[in-house]
Homo-oligomer: A and B are copies of this chain.
Amino acid sequence: MTVHIGVIGTGMIGQDHIRRITDVVTGAEVVAMADLDADRARQVAAGVGARALANGHDVIDDPLVDAVVVTSWGPTHAEYVLGAIAAGKPVFCEKPLATKAEDCLRIVEAEQAFGRRLVQVGFMRRYDAGYRAMKQVIESGEIGAPLVMHCVHRNATVPETYHSDMAVQDTAVHELDIIRWLLGEDIVSAQVIKPRRTSRRFEHLQDPQLMLFETASGVRVDLEVFVNCRYGYDIQCETVGETGVVRLPDPADVWVRTASHLRTNVLQDWKPRFAAAFDLEFVEWVASVRDGTAAGPSAWDGYATAVLSDTTTEALHSGRVVSVRLKDRPAFYGG
């Protein structure tokens, strides 16, 4: 049985997911889409033999659409996710679930009212082989209880429109989710330290940033975010436990010995680093949709990460340690 998918938002990430559903995921097909830019929607739709509809709500309501992918402009996410829940259709929403924590809460409440999980948020790192292996090592007990985590998130460079808050909201947000997932607990406070800025920075940009988090059980996490590191895209993560340490590997590439060096390549952007994770994310999502439900990162994860993101942004602005104020996790979400 082929799953028929409607896509809301046909910008770069939307097109990438459409390509993925069309070329990579078997048993799924994009049948309808919409975009603020109607011309773009028509063009992309034509490319895959789908229909371009007038707007996102038409996509949700289309009787041929089994499930919805929301890749529109962030501030519109909540509206479409709520619409999908109202229509009882599974919905995959790219991060953020909503730009405001209270909107995330409305989604969480609507989903509980519906009575079954319908929402998956696009935290694709949970599908990365390295993080999955790390989680397995942690859960095996081999390194004992986690005590400290060291994370690094470096990009070769960012465009001038990138501003300091985006280091939290667009960049660190991936770690905010993966830290919670790896440790299986919430983050309770955040602090942001501002190192000397790179002179390759834009005037307006605090880059790098050193973020510090504490979890409910007292694990301390440091995260270096450095989005103009020049040399490449580099994601590192090390979890230190009572009896051992587990660390992500560098991506495997051939080793070359020449001109007095032994070297391998550093990836230049996130696409090759997480391509397999994005693919698996959609393969698993389509499988869960076939069962009429959702299984990956939940609306609650979207909510928790939104609150955390707000808290960390506040910490960046204030220079102080800021506590995270989360609602109690409902039993519906494993609370």
**Are A256 and B142 touching (Cβ within 8 A)?**
yes
Distance of A117 Cα from B193 Cα, bound (Å): 39
CB-nearest residue of chain B to A25: B26
Distance of A88 Cα from B121 Cα, bound (Å): 48
**Are B231 and A196 touching (Cβ within 8 A)?**
no
**Are A224 and B196 touching (Cβ within 8 A)?**
no
Distance of A132 Cα from B126 Cα, bound (Å): 28
Say yes or no: is A161 at the interface (Cβ < 8 Å to chain B): no
Distance of A157 Cα from B98 Cα, bound (Å): 47
For A232, give its contact among B144, B224, B260 (CB under 8 Å).
B260
A208/B254 contact (C-beta < 8 A), A232-B260, A262-B263, A264-B261 known: no
**Are B257 and A231 touching (Cβ within 8 A)?**
yes
A218/B246 contact (C-beta < 8 A), A143-B256, A266-B260 known: no
Interface pick from A89-97, A145-153, A173-181: A145-153
Number of copies of this kind of chain in the complex: 4
Instruction: List, in ascending order, chain B residues with CB within 8 A of A218's CB.
Output: 195-197
**Are B265 and A254 touching (Cβ within 8 A)?**
no
Q: How far is the CB of A205 from chain B (nearest CB, A)?
A: 13
Instruction: List, in ascending order, chain B residues with CB within 8 A of A200's CB.
Output: 144, 242-243
Say yes or no: is A46 at the interface (Cβ < 8 Å to chain B): no
Instruction: List, in ascending order, chain B residues with CB within 8 A of A219's CB.
Output: 195-196
Distance of A220 Cα from B211 Cα, bound (Å): 11
List, sorted by A's number, 19 A–B pairs whose CB atoms are closer than 8 Å: A23-B27, A129-B253, A143-B256, A145-B198, A147-B226, A150-B152, A195-B219, A197-B218, A212-B212, A229-B245, A231-B259, A232-B260, A234-B245, A243-B258, A243-B259, A247-B257, A260-B266, A261-B263, A262-B264
Given A147-B195, A232-B257; 13 other pairs, CB 8 A cutoff? A144-B199, A193-B220, A200-B242, A230-B242, A231-B245, A231-B258, A231-B259, A243-B258, A243-B259, A245-B256, A249-B255, A249-B264, A261-B264
A-side residues, CB < 8 A to B, are 22-27, 129-130, 133-134, 137, 142-145, 147-148, 150, 152, 193-200, 208, 210, 212, 217-220, 222, 224, 226, 229-232, 234, 240, 242-266, 268, 276
The 8 closest A-B pairs by CB, nearest first: A244-B258, A196-B218, A263-B263, A195-B220, A249-B252, A252-B252, A245-B257, A133-B254
